[in-house]
A and B are shown apart, each in its own frame.
Chain A
C-alpha cells in the first residue's frame, strides 16, 4: 500500500448527515477496514450545492473556499476527500476559479477578511473524491487481496452522475491518458467493484443526468430522467445500480417510488452506494454499512446472493 492519501481531511457535507447517512457510515467503515484515516474538517459549512450559484456564483465559491481554507490553515494534511459529487465539484470549481478568475480571488479575499478568517489561495489543498481516495491509496490489487466475501454473481451498473466529470476544465487531472479517470467514460467505480468480484454490466447512461437539481422543483422531469436510468439498467441486466453521490442516490430512490405511485411504473433494480458494496466484499456487516438507512432496500437481494 502506498502512503498516498493514508490520512486525508474528510468533508462529508450536509447530505451525508441526512438522506445520505448510509454513504457516510459506509465510507467511514471502509476507510477503517482499509487502514486509511479520515479526519473530519472542523466546523465546516455547506458548499452551496447546486443552488447558491444561481443566486451568485462567487458566494458559492466563498462557501467552498472557507472549507478549503480550514484544511489549509488548521489541519496537518494537504488533501481533502469529499464523497458527495456536489461537494467535490464545488471544491474543484473554486480551486479552478480562484486560479483563473481574478474576480473570484477578490470576492473570496473580501468575504474572508470580513468574516475574520484566513483566505484561501489556489494550490494549497488538493481535492479528491472517495473514488480517487480508494483507487489511489489501495488500488484494485489491494482490494483483491482483502476480499472476504466476493461480490461474484452480483450484476452491477455503475452510475457516476454529472458533477464527478463535468465540466472538464475543473478536473485537470482527468483525461490524462492510461490510468487516469476519463470524463466521457469514467471507470474508477467499475475498476474497484470489478476487483471486489462484481459483474459489471455495460451501462451507457453512467454519466447521464438524474435531474437532481430539480428533484422537487420539477418532479415530472426528474421522474422521466430517473425512470430512463432505472429501466436502462434493468435492460442491461443489472441487479444493482452503484452510486457515488447522495443527491443522485436519493433522487433515484425518490423517483423510483414516485414513478410507481404516480405513474404505476414499477422497477425492481436496487440502489447501493459503491462504498456499501465494497464494504460487503471486505466483510463489514450490513448494519455497519447503513444498508437499513437506504429507502431502496437491497437486503433481500443481497441475502439471496449469499452476501448478507
Chain B
C-alpha cells in the first residue's frame, strides 16, 4: 500500500490570466499559471500539548509518521480526506489552520481500532482522533458533533443509573440532535420486529422503557464519577487556556 499523500498545491492557490502582459511579455493562459506564495507564520506551538492533555491524546508525541494508521483506516477507505497520519503531523507541527480545513471530518472515526492494532509506536491513533474532535469542539471551531451528542447521552444514563436502556438512548439522542424519532427506516424495522416478536417480549421491552434498568446502590458510584468528571472538565479547559 502506498503512503497516502495529498497535493500541497490547491486549486485556490493557482492563478491564471486570460490577458496579462508584464514588461512587454505576454503571460496569459495556462502556460504561465502562477502559484500563490504560501507563507505560514501563525503556528500554534502548543497544539500538540493541547491535544495530548485531552482524553485519548496522551501518546500523540510518539508518532513517527509511518502511516500504518491511515493505510488500515476504515473511514479513509470511504473518504481519502480522513487521514489520521496527516492530522497527527499537522498537530505536532502546530499547523492549526491546516487542520481546521478538515475540522468537520475529525469526529467521524468509527473506533474500529485497526489503527491502534497496526501502530508500531503505540500512539493509539483512535484515541488521538477523539482528542482532536474534542479539541475542535472545546475551542469553538465546530459545533457539538452527532458522535459527541451520542457519547454524552450514553454516559449520562450510565452515570445516573449504572445501566443503559437502548430505547431511551435512541429517544434521547434524536431529541438532543433535533431529529424526528419517526425515521422511515426505524419505523420499518420496528414493524418487521413487531410482526414476529412474542407478546411477552414486547411487554418486557415496554416495561424497560417505563422502569429504567438500574444497578442497585449506585448512588455512591454516581457521586464518585460525577466528582471525577467535574475535575476532568476543568482540566480540559485549563489545557486549552479556556478559563
Contact = CB atoms under 8 A, between A and B. Distances in A.
Interface stretch (A58-66, A137-145, A151-159): A58-66
B184 A62 contact: no
B221 A183 contact: no
Contact of A162 (B55, B113, B167, B216): B113
Given A52-B155, A56-B229, A261 B164 contact: no
B228 A56 contact: yes
Most chain A CB neighbours (cut-off 10 Å) among B112, B166, B188, B225: B112
A52 B151 contact: yes
A120 to B, nearest CB: 13
Interface in A39-63: 43-46, 48-59, 62-63
B220 A114 contact: yes
Interface residues of A, number: 64
Contacts of B152: 55
Interface in B158-195: 158, 162-167, 170, 173-174, 184-186, 188-189, 192-193
A258 B111 CA distance: 22
A293 interface: yes
B229 A115 contact: no
Interface in B21-77: 55-56, 74-75
B173 A216 contact: yes
Interface stretch (A73-81, A121-129, A165-173): A165-173
A201 interface: no
B223 interface: yes
A49 B75 CA distance: 20
B158 A63 contact: yes
Given A56-B232, A217-B150, A166 B113 contact: yes
A162 B158 CA distance: 23
A53 B134 CA distance: 12
A202 interface: no
A253 interface: yes
B117 interface: yes
Contacts of A165: 117
Interface of A is mostly: helix
Contacts of B56: 53-54, 57
B165 to A, nearest CB: 7
Nearest to A17: B213
B116 interface: yes
B160 to A, nearest CB: 11
B158 A293 contact: no
Contact of B147 (A44, A110, A217): A217
Interface of B: 55-56, 74-75, 78, 108, 110-114, 116-117, 122, 124, 127, 130, 134, 145-152, 154-155, 158, 162-167, 170, 173-174, 184-186, 188-189, 192-193, 196-198, 201, 205, 208, 213, 215-218, 220-221, 223-225, 227-229, 232
Given A14-B166, A55-B232, 8 more contacts: A46-B164, A54-B130, A209-B114, A214-B150, A217-B147, A218-B146, A257-B189, A299-B196
The 6 closest A-B pairs by CB, nearest first: A209-B112, A114-B224, A166-B113, A45-B162, A51-B154, A167-B116
26 contacts: A43-B215, A45-B163, A45-B215, A45-B218, A46-B158, A48-B158, A54-B56, A55-B229, A107-B228, A114-B220, A114-B223, A115-B224, A162-B112, A165-B117, A166-B117, A169-B122, A209-B74, A217-B150, A218-B108, A218-B110, A218-B147, A254-B189, A257-B188, A260-B188, A297-B192, A297-B196
